[in-house]
Amino acid sequence: MALINNLKDHGQFADAKDCYYVYRKQHKNGLLDNLSWIFCGFGVRPEFTLVWAVLFVGFFGIVYQVSKCTHESECPFRPIGSKTSSSNQSIVKSLYYSTLVFFHTHPPAYWHPAGRWKYVVVFEDILGWFLLALFVVVLVNVMITW
């Protein structure tokens, strides 16, 4: 820790962050330390959070695409009032919908979750809120502390 403070005192903030990261990685113990390492790099790697956000958007987009929407009540998103399934939806539309849900932008009015998929959409939305808040906290920590 003295080395980290010395590096900060001499204006070598990037080296201090790297040193802190290695120190915390070597001395991690418990579930919270592991989660902190994985999702935000112990509060000094905001890019970890962005990578997780992209991975989750891609994962949920693929889940929406693979669902195939064979029955209108099982389709993750379909036009309101539509009696037909949206089995011809493209992966681009699925990723677009997932991105809108994840970053808490309202999808177009004609898309809404149906059936059991409304719970998946809510989970993705909560996960998006969590990762965006975590990203802001880590980014502010890096900007102020380092």
Stretches in the chain below the pLDDT threshold 70: 68-89, 108-110, 146
pLDDT at residue number 39: 95
Q: What is the DSSP string of the chain?
A: -HHHHHHHHTT-HHHHHHHHHHHHHHT--SHHHHHHHHHHGGGT-HHHHHHHHHHHHHHHHHHHHHTTT-SGGG-SSB-TT--S--TT--HHHHHHHHHHHHTTPPPPTT-B--TTHHHHHHHHHHHHHHHHHHHHHHHHHHHHH-
pLDDT at residue number 70: 37
Task: Compute the C-alpha angle 137/143/146, nearest 5°.
Answer: 115
pLDDT at residue number 71: 43
Which 3 state secondary structure label does DSSP give 84? Answer: coil
pLDDT at residue number 40: 93
Q: How many Cβ atoms are within 10 Å of 45's Cβ, its own excluded?
A: 18
Residue with tokens 């802001």, as numbered in its chain: 136
pLDDT tens digits, 98-110:
899 898 877 766 6
